[in-house]
């Protein structure tokens, strides 16, 4: 593995920082959740204390301690923002909830919804009765059968008053009631203060009625009757229900003075029914009214978890790394008329509480709900419920996480860039040192002592200096080896001359027959030793002559023809073939060295050519070079030996003979080729046995 790759891998380990940042973001989010819970719970408690001090503006003076039971006819009265138009439609009520179905013993379909403003109580009734029976001109409630709606009001003084709505034709009508006259007779009288609009529909009729609040006490019973006798709803004597649970007028405006944008506040009674609401949860929500909570309840540094206008898109990409598993969190169950949940129930039991809720299936759609009890005279009369979107916390987390990710990725990119640059710089320096080491020993055997980077003070510089010391010792040894042949030749020549003269003297004085054999073998040994010394001296002389040779221009083809003619006379046992261009092949160099090189190649070929074999000397032009080749019949050269044949003192012969061989011939041929800026190559002949030795020489 390269240094660059290793340093790159080391630099990439900085990517652990985003992972650590994600873990830190999780811990930060947990801490922020706790802080937001505490802050919102503290705010709810502060608002509850403020409302308990002015309970008359929150709760009605008289309150039934019994729980709200819808099945017994109890009615929740929605607070209407403005008086709706009496037209038989409820689209202008601004209430999201659908009308509640009234119970019927015989399946008569009727649905009812009740709302109020500062002055009026509004009733909206939908009846599924396709067979409409109009009211006669002089109705008799005991005998006549027609469609009508009966209502019974408990007035503020506690008395009960019954009315009914009926009509001969749809439109604006007035309530009617039965009046007992003198003598016990009865008559039907109109009540102009109570008005309604009767609207026929495809499957029945709609009734939208308006009753002054001055006529309404704490109870109301509604019953729809058909001409057939079927009915739905609650009669005054059918149950003890009919209680009206009304939202407190003006409470929404009061609550709006306690909150700021992004928070919704709701006050509920002991049944969880909404008495008033203000504000909108979520970033950028509309506050209920001007004014803010004091220091005790502000969502300050510890609890204010966001600001309007945060860009959510920047954090969405990061959320996948830090998303908290919220599948076990409860779903928000807020209804149009009431609030429920663990924290609401705890507050109604007298304990402040807060909890996180899911508003949908997504892990990011979260809502924080905090509730605190409103105590009046030591008794819990209701609770304040605050809602705040989890987007505020997520936006703050995402902003911190995005900042952390950006810094981490930038740091990682810079670290990778720096590591890659450093690795490239180190690789270049090591590459220069490697190239210098590869070329430290030249083709002529000379050793280059200077190494790049040797002046650097780091480890690469120390390595370069170690190479220089090693090469210096190798150069000393190489110089010793280069001069060893000449020294041995010089030192051994005199002892060899003494031995040879001594043998001559012994032979001239006469020797016995058995002694002559010893003298003959001794003389052969001296001759062999003389050949060795001559070869060593020749190698030394060739190296010196190469350095001192002068370059001239000569015809290489003519030199080859003259040399081959001489080889035919010198080696009659082999057949020589010359292939050379007919025209001249001009070369600038030392002709005596080229002839000596050709001699060495031919002598090598003669040694391996069988008797009667052919030696081919070929000269040809190839591009900008001359190729001078000597090919011979005979055995092939092992592939492992082809690259070493031109080394000094290297010898490879499959057999043995009586001639001394020192592995200097091809070495000398290589030195001469390199002196002429060429190179020597060895290869086996294709298609048969034998070898080919080629010297490539550049043209002038």
Q: What is the CA radius of gyration of the chain?
A: 59
Cα–Cα dist 508/311, whole Å: 120
Give kind and range of the element (H or E) at residue 577. Answer: strand 575-579
pLDDT, tens only, 58-100: 987 666 678 888 888 899 999 888 999 999 999 999 888 899 9
Q: Identify the DSSP state of 14.
A: G
For residue 207 the two structure tokens come to: 């009734």
Helix (H, G, I), strand (E, B) or coil at 79: strand
- Contact yes or no for 12/412 (Cβ under 8 A): yes
Count other Cβ atoms within 10 Å, centred on residue 313: 8
For residue 642 the two structure tokens come to: 């082809």
Residue closest to 352 by CA, chosen among 297, 311, 407: 297
pLDDT, tens only, 269-298: 999 999 999 988 864 443 333 333 333 333
Geometric angle at alpha carbon 524, from 520 and 529, rounded to 5°? 145
Which parts of the chain register pLDDT below 50?
Answer: 283-315, 363
For residue 279 the two structure tokens come to: 């504000």
Strands 75-79 and 109-116, sheet pairing = parallel
Going from the C-alpha of 287 to that of each of 46, 253, 258, the distances in angstroms are: 18, 10, 9
For residue 599 the two structure tokens come to: 């001699």
591-608 and 513-548 are packed helices; what angle lies between their axes, rounded to 10 degrees? 140
DSSP 110-145: EEEEEEE-SSEEEEEEEEE-SS--PPPSS--TTT--
pLDDT, tens only, 461-501: 888 899 889 988 988 887 777 677 667 776 777 787 888 78
Residues in the chain: 700
Q: Is the pTM of this model over 0.85?
A: no
Residue closest to 139 by CA, chosen among 105, 120, 110, 165: 165
**The pLDDT of residue 396:** 67
**In the chain, what are the domains?**
70-246 (2.60.40.1190), 250-400 (3.30.450), 459-543 (1.10.287), 550-698 (3.30.565.10)
Going from the C-alpha of 164 to that of each of 149, 192, 430, 515, the distances in angstroms are: 5, 12, 106, 167
Count other Cβ atoms within 10 Å, centred on residue 14: 17
Sign for the CA dihedral angle at 245, 249, 255, 261 comes to positive
DSSP 338-387: B--SHHHHHHHTT--EEEEEESSSSTT-EEEEEEEEEEETTEEEEEEEEE
Contacts of residue 183, defined as CB under 8 A and 6 or more positions apart, other chains included, come to none
- Contact yes or no for 537/486 (Cβ under 8 A): yes
**2 burial via Cβ count (<10 Å: 0-12, 13-18, 19+):** exposed
Burial 149-168 (b: 16+ CB within 10 A, else e): bbbbbbeeeeeebebbbbbe
Give kind and range of the element (H or E) at residue 412. Answer: helix 391-438
Cα distance from N-terminal residue to C-terminal residue, the chain:
46
**The pLDDT of residue 371:** 95
For residue 362 the two structure tokens come to: 């997504």
Residue 268 CA, chain-centre distance (Å), reads: 48
- Contact yes or no for 339/385 (Cβ under 8 A): yes
Strands 691-698 and 100-101, sheet pairing = unpaired
Helix (H, G, I), strand (E, B) or coil at 78: strand
């Amino acid at each position: 593995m390269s240094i660059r790759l290793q340093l790159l891998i080391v630099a990439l380990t900085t990517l652990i920082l985003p992972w650590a940042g994600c873990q830190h973001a999780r811990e930060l989010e947990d801490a922020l959740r706790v802080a937001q819970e505490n802050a919102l719970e503290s705010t709810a408690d502060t608002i509850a204390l403020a409302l308990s001090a002015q309970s008359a503006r929150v709760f009605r003076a008289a309150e039934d301690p019994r729980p709200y039971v819808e099945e017994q006819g109890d009615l929740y009265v929605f607070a209407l923002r403005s008086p709706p138009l009496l037209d038989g439609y409820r689209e202008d009520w601004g209430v999201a909830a659908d009308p509640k179905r009234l119970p019927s013993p015989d399946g008569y379909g009727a649905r009812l919804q009740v709302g109020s403003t500062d002055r009026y109580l509004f009733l909206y009734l939908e009846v599924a009765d396709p067979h409409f029976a109009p009211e006669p001109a002089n109705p008799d409630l005991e005998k006549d059968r027609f469609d009508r709606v009966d209502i019974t009001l408990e007035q503020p003084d506690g008395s009960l008053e019954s009315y009914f709505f009926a009509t001969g034709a749809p439109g604006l009508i007035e309530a009617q009631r039965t009046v007992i006259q003198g003598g016990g007779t009865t008559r039907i009288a109109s009540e102009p203060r109570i008005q309604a609009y009767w609207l026929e529909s495809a499957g029945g009729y709609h009734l939208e009625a308006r009753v002054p609040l001055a006529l309404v006490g704490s109870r109301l019973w509604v019953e729809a009757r058909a001409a057939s006798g079927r009915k739905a709803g609650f009669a005054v004597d059918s149950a003890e229900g009919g209680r009206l649970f009304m939202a407190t007028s003006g409470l929404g405006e009061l609550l709006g003075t306690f909150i700021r944008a992004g928070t919704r506040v709701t006050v509920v009674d002991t049944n969880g029914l909404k008495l008033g609401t203000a504000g909108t949860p979520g970033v950028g929500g509309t506050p209920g009214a001007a004014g803010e909570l004091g220091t005790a309840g502000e969502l300050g540094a510890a609890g204010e978890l966001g600001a309007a206008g945060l860009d959510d898109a920047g954090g969405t990409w990061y959320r996948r790394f830090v998303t908290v598993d919220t599948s076990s969190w409860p779903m928000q169950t807020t209804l149009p008329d009431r609030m429920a949940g663990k924290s609401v129930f705890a507050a109604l039991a007298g304990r402040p509480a807060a909890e996180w809720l899911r508003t949908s299936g997504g892990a990011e759609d979260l809502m924080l709900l905090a509730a605190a009890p409103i105590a009046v005279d030591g008794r819990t009369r209701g609770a304040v419920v605050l809602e705040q979107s989890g987007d505020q916390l997520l936006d703050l987390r995402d902003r911190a996480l995005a900042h952390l990710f950006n810094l981490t990725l930038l740091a990682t990119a810079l670290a990778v860039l720096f590591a890659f640059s450093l690795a490239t710089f180190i690789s270049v320096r090591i590459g220069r040192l490697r190239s210098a080491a590869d070329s430290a020993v030249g083709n002529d055997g000379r050793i280059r002592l200077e190494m790049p980077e040797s002046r650097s003070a780091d480890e690469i510089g120390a390595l370069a200096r170690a190479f220089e010391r090693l090469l210096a010792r190798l150069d000393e040894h190489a110089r010793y080896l280069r001069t060893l042949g000449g020294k041995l030749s010089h030192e051994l020549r005199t002892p060899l001359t003494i031995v040879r003269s001594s043998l001559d003297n012994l032979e001239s004085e006469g020797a016995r027959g058995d002694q002559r054999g010893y003298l003959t073998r001794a003389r052969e040994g001296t001759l062999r030793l003389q050949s060795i010394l001559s070869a060593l001296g020749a190698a030394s002389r060739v190296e010196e002559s190469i350095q001192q040779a002068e370059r001239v221009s000569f015809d290489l083809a003519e030199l080859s023809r003259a040399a081959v003619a001489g080889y035919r006379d010198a080696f009659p046992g082999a057949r020589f073939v010359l292939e050379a261009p007919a025209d001249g092949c001009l070369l600038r160099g030392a002709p005596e060295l080229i002839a000596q090189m050709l001699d060495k190649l031919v002598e090598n070929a003669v040694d391996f050519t069988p008797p009667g074999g052919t030696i081919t000397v070929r000269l040809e032009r190839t591009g900008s070079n001359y190729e001078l080749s000597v090919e011979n019949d005979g055995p092939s050269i092992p592939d492992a030996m082809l690259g070493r044949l031109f080394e000094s003192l290297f010898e490879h012969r499959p057999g043995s003979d009586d001639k001394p061989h020192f592995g200097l011939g091809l070495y000398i041929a290589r030195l001469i080729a390199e002196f002429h800026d060429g190179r020597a190559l060895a290869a086996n002949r294709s298609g048969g046995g034998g070898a080919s030795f080629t010297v490539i020489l550049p043209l002038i």
